[in-house]
Amino acid sequence: MKRSRIWLSVAVSAMLVLAACGTQTGGESGAPGGSDGASDDGSGAEMTAARLQLQWAPQAQFAGYFAALEEGYYEEEGIDLEIVPGGPDVIPQQAGSAADGPEFTISWVPKVLEARDAGSDLVNIAQIFQRSGTLSVAWADSGITSPADFADKKVGVWDFGNEFEVTAAASAEGLEQDVDYEKVIQNFDMLAFLARDIDVAEAMIYNEYAQVLEAENPDTGELYQPEDMNVIDYNEVGTAMLQDAIFARASWLAEDGNEDVAEGFLRASFRGWIFCRDNPDDCVGYTTDAGSTLGAGHQAWMMNEINPLIWPSPDGIGMMDADQWQQTVDISLDSGIIGEAPPEDAYRTDLAEAALEGLDDATGDGFTRGTVEVTPGGE
């Protein structure tokens, strides 16, 4: 009798097993495919498999790649592309440096310079963002309007190599960290700023800055307004560092035929970004389809702010601005991110140049930024 009850509980456990087994077949979407090299897509044409490691979770920051995938641009180049999402625990330049890692990686230039110092052979093959999206924001009533005003304030920055535009600006004003101002490591949210635990907060123009505008001001019952904040733009301050760029391993590029793959990948990606410049609404849709759980309103804002970081691209999208590269290298050296200047082959423009040939309006000379309505909660 007692036995049968034991078996009943065994039956409950068996139920658990059965339910659990579904995970193994249903849960593969999170795992990057291990396929490498050439593979047959089944469509008849010779397709080359390649992976793109994103710098962060899917969001409009990467809309151009989602668009190129959905519009079939990669397929037209014979590339069967898998987009690998990043996230809080993914270090893209580390993933992309591994010999069996993704063929293409989106990362920020100073972080890759640092990785190169540690032995990575990642090469910048296209500088997508021509401008930095980093801001510092302060409340309007704080009187802080420039880095010179950081003196005696609590200045929030993100660590993991995201802080150098802010700290370099402060030291250019002769302010010494933790002597003249207090550097506070900020979470990847704006809670400390809203709670006024810090006087200045680091914010990406396309993300955290918008989050503040999407939040309700308890004093008014309305959303926070742009007038409530002073914004410091590091492109204007002169300590901007180059951000989103496409990287590939030199060792991978050196293999026979891979430069052609890279050129095709760049052409498709450039076309994706041109598409998003001209059809931002469609790209917001592609982004939410790509699995972003951020609100569509927030993505629309992000798309609208990403475009001006890319456009206009005076020499064509993906081409390196040598002055900006030098500025990024100089600040990296001064901040101790790297010990010595990178060699000249840390970036190359020949692949981007070849990819640009025959592309229409790849500079976006006439680009003007759009406007989007801020939505409460980014919905």
Partner 1 sequence: MPRSPERGWLRPILTFAIFAALLFVVWEGLKFVGGDPWRTETWIWEPPLEIWFASDLLLPHVWDIVGALAAPVQRGSDESLAQFLAGAAFYTWREAAIGFLLGATIGIGLAALFVHSKLMERALVPYVIASQTIPIIALAPMIVFAFGPNVLSVVIIATYLTFFPVTIAMISGLRSPDPRALELMRSYAASRWSVFWKVRMPASLPYLFTALKISATASIVGAIVGEGPGGIPNGLGRAIINFNSQYISGPEKLWATIVACAILGIAFFTLIRIAELAALRGRGLRTEAA
With 0-12 / 13-18 / 19 or more C-beta atoms within 10 angstroms meaning exposed / middle / buried, residue 106 is buried
The correct pick among 64, 110, 272, 297 for binding partner 1 (CB under 8 A) is 297
The correct pick among 42, 43, 44, 88 for binding partner 1 (CB under 8 A) is 88
* Three-state secondary-structure class, residue 310: helix
Q: What is the C-alpha to C-alpha distance for residues 148 and 226, in angstroms, rounded to an integer?
A: 22
* Three-state secondary-structure class, residue 224: coil
The correct pick among 72, 143, 238, 377 for binding partner 1 (CB under 8 A) is 377
Residue 22 as a binder of partner 1 (CB under 8 A): the answer is yes
Judged by beta carbon, residue 2 or residue 257, the one nearer partner 1 is: 2
Q: Least separation, in Å, of the C-beta of 185 and partner 1?
A: 16
Residue 289 as a binder of partner 1 (CB under 8 A): the answer is no
Q: What is the C-alpha to C-alpha distance for residues 353 and 126, in angstroms, rounded to an integer?
A: 9
Picking from 277, 290, 286, 292, the residue whose alpha carbon sits closest to that of residue 365 is 277
Residue 226 as a binder of partner 1 (CB under 8 A): the answer is no
Q: What is the C-alpha to C-alpha distance for residues 146 and 138, in angstroms, rounded to an integer?
A: 10
Q: Least separation, in Å, of the C-beta of 135 and partner 1?
A: 16
Region of residue 257 (phi > 0: left; psi between -120 and 50: alpha; otherwise: beta): left
Residue 87 as a binder of partner 1 (CB under 8 A): the answer is yes
- The site string for partner 1 over 56-85 (x = CB under 8 A, - otherwise) reads -x---------------------------x
Interacting residues with partner 1 between 194 and 223 (CB under 8 A): 194-195, 211-212, 214-216, 218-219, 221
Residue 231 as a binder of partner 1 (CB under 8 A): the answer is no
326-364 in b/e burial notation, b at 16+ Cβ within 10 A? ebbbebbeebebbeeebeeebbbbebbbbbbeeeeebbb
Size of the site for partner 1 (CB under 8 A): 54
> Helix 280-289 crosses helix 296-310 at what angle (to 10 degrees)?
120
Judged by beta carbon, residue 141 or residue 222, the one nearer partner 1 is: 222
Residue 36 as a binder of partner 1 (CB under 8 A): the answer is no
Which residues would be at the binding site for partner 1 (CB under 8 A)?
1-2, 5-6, 8-9, 12-13, 16-17, 19-20, 22-24, 27-32, 57, 85, 87-90, 188-191, 194-195, 211-212, 214-216, 218-219, 221, 288, 291, 293-298, 375-379
